[in-house]
Amino acid sequence: MSIWVVLGIVAAIIGLLVILYNRLVALRQTRNNAFSDIDVQLKQRYNLVPQLVETVKGYAAHEKQVYENVTKARAQVGAAKGATGERVAAENVLGGALMGLLAVAENYPDLKADQNFQKLMNELSDIENKIAAARRFFNNATAEYNTATEQFPSVLIAGMFGFAKEEFFELDEAEAALVQKAPEVKF
């Protein structure tokens, strides 16, 4: 009879290990899927940038440094791949460069009144909102994954099978300061 008890305990332990491993795999997949959602929005923003730059260029031809910054930042994003710290940093640089471009646009009333510019700004605003929502979902999935890899007994499985703590997709300090700044209202 004791052999059956031992076999039952071994089967229960193996079953628990399989369940924990499968949970970690599912959480990792959810995180990867969440980054794919961000990636779709980032690609839309990436593709919108040249149109926005060309529209602003027509009105503010002497703002060469701003265009170079946006173009350089866009190239960095194109070179960075996956959900890495390098990719997050490149996206933050592009976001900051776009903020600079939009600051230049504020100095040109004719540009702000241009329908093409307004359309592009609406698209950019929509994309930025979608990126923010996707970023929140990604960070939530990352937090859930990281928590699972650090909790006992999952931590034993995580270490054995290479489930490592993952990075969040966070704003850099400059972009976070711009986002938190209250909008200026003029009448």
What's the pTM? Answer: 0.71
Return the pLDDT at 54: 81
| Alpha-carbon span 60 to 73, nearest angstrom | 19
Predicted confidence at residue 179, as pLDDT, reads 46
Structure confidence by residue, pLDDT tens digits, 28-55? 999 999 999 888 888 888 888 888 888 8
Answer yes or no: are the C-beta atoms of 144 and 26 closer than 8 Å. no
Q: Once rounded to an integer, what is the mean pLDDT over residues 98-112?
A: 78
| Confidence tier at 183 by pLDDT (50, 70, 90) | very low
For residues 69-88, average pLDDT: 80
The pLDDT score that the predictor gives to residue 86 is 81
Q: Where are the alpha helices (DSSP H) in the chain?
A: 2-59, 64-79, 85-105, 109-113, 115-150, 154-161, 173-180
pLDDT for residue 178: 44
Q: Which CATH number fits domain 2-177: 3.30.1360, 3.40.1710, 1.20.120, 1.10.3470?
A: 1.20.120
pLDDT, tens only, 110-156: 777 777 788 888 888 899 899 889 999 999 999 999 999 999 989 98
Whether 83 shows a pLDDT value over 80: the answer reads: no
- Domain ranges across the chain: 2-177
Q: SS3 letters for 52-78? A: HHHHHHHHCCCCHHHHHHHHHHHHHHH
